[in-house]
Structure 1
Amino acid sequence: MIKASDLRRREIVNVFDGKRLGFVSDLEIDDSEGYINAIIVPGPGKFFGLFGGDRDYIIPWEKIVKIGSDVILVEVPGTHRKSRNSKDTKS
């Protein structure tokens, strides 16, 4: 079993392009079923998830390839970002 706090200490790396996306800042949970739908990583330019741009990387749970001891490998061809103030976008 793994805790949410343990996930936050692991860096997210996209195996599709080798890009380091950052660290988990939050989880998207299906409250009716109790499953994790996605991990959320602050977008580029954000400082501790607070300052900077308003777009976060939303990485669906099924796109996680491997959770290692210090990294989480994901396979995301186009990094999917969600704006807090507008529609979903792709970078």
Structure 2
Amino acid sequence: MRLCDFKDKQVINLCDCCVIGCVSDIIFNECTGKITDIIVPGPARLCGIFGRDSEYIIPWNHICQIGPDIILVKLTHEEAKAHKVIF
């Protein structure tokens, strides 16, 4: 799988079956070349006109399965709050 294959895949949380969003970027370890996190933009502000004010940085070890169209992750409500970065 190529890195560009991750872009625009929907991320779904298995704990509450909610769609978190689509992958916008990844973070990887430069020394090992391994992916450490995926980045999913948070909810849009006011109909998407003013952009987004947060994003989710989801650790690789929370990913359960990667399919052709979606990525399944397992995050509890508390973990989701902890991985949300507010600008």
TM-score, normalised by the number of residues in structure 1: 0.79
The aligned residue for residue 88 of structure 1 is none
For residues 61 and 14 of structure 2, the distance between their equivalents in structure 1, rounded to whole angstroms, comes to 14
For residues 83 and 52 of structure 1, the distance between their equivalents in structure 2, rounded to whole angstroms, comes to 9
TM-superposed CA distance for 1:34, in Å, is 1.2
Question: How many residue pairs align between the two structures?
Answer: 80
For residues 59 and 36 of structure 1, the distance between their equivalents in structure 2, rounded to whole angstroms, comes to 11
Return the letter of the residue paired with 2:85: K
For residues 40 and 85 of structure 2, the distance between their equivalents in structure 1, rounded to whole angstroms, comes to 10
Q: Is structure 2 residue 37 aligned with structure 1 residue 38?
A: yes
For residues 61 and 86 of structure 2, the distance between their equivalents in structure 1, rounded to whole angstroms, comes to 21
| TM-align CA RMSD | 1.7
TM-superposed CA distance for 1:70, in Å, is 0.8
Return the letter of the residue paired with 2:41: P
Q: How does 1:47-58 map to 2 (within 5 A)?
A: 47=48, 51-53=51-53, 55-58=54-57
TM-score, normalised by the number of residues in structure 2: 0.82
For structure 1, list consecutive stretches of 5 or more residues without a partner in the other structure.
85-91
TM-superposed CA distance for 1:18, in Å, is 0.6
Larger relative helix fraction:
2
Tell me which of 81, 85, 88 is aligned to 2:84.
Answer: 81
For structure 2, list consecutive stretches of 5 or more residues without a partner in the other structure.
none
For residues 52 and 3 of structure 1, the distance between their equivalents in structure 2, rounded to whole angstroms, comes to 27
The aligned residue for residue 70 of structure 1 is 69
Percent identity over paired residues: 35
Return the letter of the residue paired with 2:64: V
Return the letter of the residue paired with 2:22: F
